[in-house]
Chain A
Amino acid sequence: MNYHQVFNEDVFPLRDKLYRFSLSIVRKNDIAEDVVQEILIKVWDKREDWEKWRNMNAMIYTMTKNLSLDKLKSKNNQLYTIPEGYDTPADSANPVQRVISMDVECIIHKAIGTLNEIQRMVIQLRDIEGHTYQEIADMTDLTMAQVKVNLHRGRLELRDKLKNKL
């Protein structure tokens, strides 16, 4: 197996998606960045095990999920909490063509923040990245039923939270 080729063609290009995925769980840019960088290093270091992984893609997502959840736990336990909003939609790079206003974005961002991390995670994978239920189940190491239940509860909650605000 040509490790370099596999990594550069199949793993490294996933970084954007992994970053958004991790971000949906940890909700802090810098933590998500650390998570993904760590995962990339880990996956590369484990290249000799790749052959044993049945579904590499799903495996990497599951690793990202687990590390993100760990970081989320330690973030919630930290001594000095950096206030939320420190890196809410800062959007410094591309302020052009905003379809929705900053306020609206803030309201939605906050509403999503009230969901639990599993709900946020499946919504990210389905509604933003457009994966199938089966793919999501593999990536998150959940059963298909769990994926649907969480998706349903998350969407329901968002509807109740946003219906009167938007």
Chain B
Amino acid sequence: MTRNDMDTLVQKYINAESTRQEEEQLKTALRGQDVPADLKYLSTLFDYYELQKEHTVVPDFQNPAAPSKQPNARIISMRWMAVAASVAILVVTLLFFNQSPVTAPADTYDDPEIAAQNAAQALELLSGELNRGRTLALDQMKEFDNFNKYLNVF
């Protein structure tokens, strides 16, 4: 391809007037050895586009049309055994508090102390995740020196 042809194609490309065939021609021409210096950027850009198509890691999506699997036998961890026990207490409590309006949220625990301890545990869990996220973000950042300036943001 002559330099002139190439320039025409690039101009058409930039103007969004090129056909797909012409864009393919241009890509092929720019993949060659002697790319003019002023078109180097376009050749790199095309490589980048190619890379995006092939190297983007696509996550595993759940197929909503797939038959849902039967849940396995439930194994209840010790941690939630306590919760389950408390639910049992709730049922009993509910019988006592039956006259309270339906709109009031049902309390799982009737003992404030147990409620407080469970709430504290929930907070710990949340706090742990918050910190995990922060640590992960920081770890990732270290790999990109040019993003160091963001470190303070988080």
Contact = CB atoms under 8 A, between A and B. Distances in A.
Given A104-B44, A128-B49, A132-B20, A12 B150 contact: no
A58 B71 CA distance: 36
A29 B65 CA distance: 24
A154 to B, nearest CB: 9
Interface residues of A, number: 58
B59 A19 contact: yes
Contacts, number: 122
A16 B61 CA distance: 9
A13 to B, nearest CB: 10
Contacts of B64: 7, 40-41, 44-45
Interface string B92-123: 00000000000000000000000000000000
B141 A129 contact: no
A36 interface: yes
Nearest to B15: A152
B79 interface: no
Contacts of B137: 82-83, 86
Contacts of A163: 38, 41
Nearest to A20: B56
Interface in B39-81: 40-42, 44-53, 55-59, 61-65
B48 A100 contact: yes
Contacts of A141: none
A116 interface: no
A4 B65 contact: yes
B16 A155 contact: yes
19 contacts: A7-B65, A8-B63, A8-B65, A12-B63, A20-B52, A44-B64, A44-B65, A83-B141, A93-B55, A104-B48, A105-B51, A128-B53, A130-B20, A132-B20, A151-B16, A155-B13, A155-B16, A158-B45, A159-B41
Interface of A: 3-4, 7-8, 12, 15-16, 19-20, 23, 29, 33, 36-37, 40-41, 44-45, 80-88, 90-94, 98-100, 104-106, 108, 127-130, 132-133, 147-149, 151-152, 155-156, 158-159, 162-163, 165-166
Given A93-B57, A106-B146, 18 more contacts: A7-B63, A8-B65, A12-B61, A19-B56, A20-B52, A33-B61, A82-B154, A83-B147, A83-B153, A93-B55, A94-B55, A94-B57, A100-B51, A105-B51, A108-B45, A155-B14, A159-B14, A166-B40
